[in-house]
């Protein structure tokens, strides 16, 4: 189990709902990875991310789907690509990763509470 944090610590992590609007291959990545463009609505706008979901999803499985992502990390340069947000995923029982997404359609940019 991980270290205990306070509720105030959790509040610092800004997790928002977005919609994947573009999926592209990321050939320079060391692992099977996509380049994603995600729309978080008018307040945050469109951000890009690299995501290691290529072994688990085809581009058409991801396009227009909602996801949850951390939007307040500093951008990270990954193989010359600036990843601005971290798309959340969990390990599947059978192996691989599953994207964390709202159960019902969420408002773009809605914050996770």
In this structure, whether the domain defined by 14-99 belongs to CATH 1.10.1270.20 is answered with: no
What is the rounded distance in angstroms from the CA atom of residue 9 to the CA atom of residue 46?
A: 26
- What pLDDT does 30 receive? 80
Of the CA atoms within 13 Å of residue 83, those in its CB half-sphere come to 20
pTM of full prediction above 0.85? yes
The pLDDT profile of the chain, 113 residues, written as one tens digit per residue, is 678 999 999 999 999 999 999 999 998 888 889 999 999 999 999 999 999 999 999 999 999 999 999 999 999 999 899 999 999 999 999 999 999 999 999 999 999 98
What is the rounded distance in angstroms from the CA atom of residue 51 to the CA atom of residue 85?
A: 10
Q: Could you count the other beta carbons within 10 Å of the beta carbon of residue 98?
A: 15
- What pLDDT does 1 receive? 65
Boundaries of every domain in the chain: 14-99
């Amino acid at each position: 189990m991980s270290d205990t944090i306070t509720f105030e610590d959790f509040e610092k992590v800004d997790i928002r709902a977005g919609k994947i609007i573009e999926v592209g291959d990321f050939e320079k990545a060391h692992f099977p990875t996509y380049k994603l463009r995600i729309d978080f609505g008018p307040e945050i706008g469109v951000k890009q991310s690299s995501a290691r979901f290529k072994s688990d999803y085809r581009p058409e499985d991801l396009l227009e789907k909602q996801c949850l992502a951390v939007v307040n990390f500093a951008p990270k340069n990954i193989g010359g690509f600036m990843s601005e947000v971290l798309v959340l995923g969990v390990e599947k029982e059978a192996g691989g990763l599953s994207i964390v997404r709202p159960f019902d359609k969420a408002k773009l940019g809605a914050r996770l509470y």
